[in-house]
Amino acid sequence: MPDSTWLTPAVVRQWSGQRQGDTGDTASLTLAANAAAEYVEDLKPDMFTDADPPVFEPTPTVLLGAAMLAHRWYSRRSSPLGVAGYAELGSAGILRYDPDVAKLLGLGTEGKFVFGAPTTAVPVV
């Protein structure tokens, strides 16, 4: 798995509101960022340039979706059962499927509406 140059732990930290000087568990954050970058690169091969070697240039929408995905995976390291914490009204969990990430990355079953067109199922990851 090559190190990502477009989705770094600093990008994920910035999106999540962590301070840039915070170095807590950098190895896990780097692993999550690299895994999310590889996943998105596999989903979006059309975003590679024709340069030699090809460079992945995501749109701001895809970059945000990848940062959100990496942060969710990073957050799950301390909650393997998906429970983030407890409050007065019960438990708060980390979503297994995030519709915002799916929309930003173009995943899911939603597509452009075409009147009278048959629908085809797209696998939800």
Give, in order, the Cα–Cα distances in Å from 111 to each of 85, 97, 102, 119, 120: 35, 18, 12, 9, 10
48-60 pLDDT, tens digit each = 988 888 889 999 9
- Above 80 in pLDDT, residue 108? no
The continuous run of DSSP H or E covering 123 comes out as none
State whether residue 37 is helix, strand or coil.
helix
19-46 pLDDT, tens digit each = 766 666 788 899 999 999 999 999 999 9
Task: List all residues 6 or more positions away from 34 whose beta carbon is below 8 Å from its beta carbon.
Answer: 1, 2, 3, 4, 7
Our CA dihedral for 17, 31, 24, 69, rounded to 10 degrees, sits at: 20
Higher pLDDT, 90 or 37: 37
Nearest to 4 by CA among 44, 33, 39, 47: 33
pLDDT at 66: 95
CA distance 35 to 46: 19
Higher pLDDT, 123 or 37: 37
pLDDT at 2: 47
- Above 50 in pLDDT, residue 102? yes
In the chain, the percentage of residues whose pLDDT exceeds 90 is 30
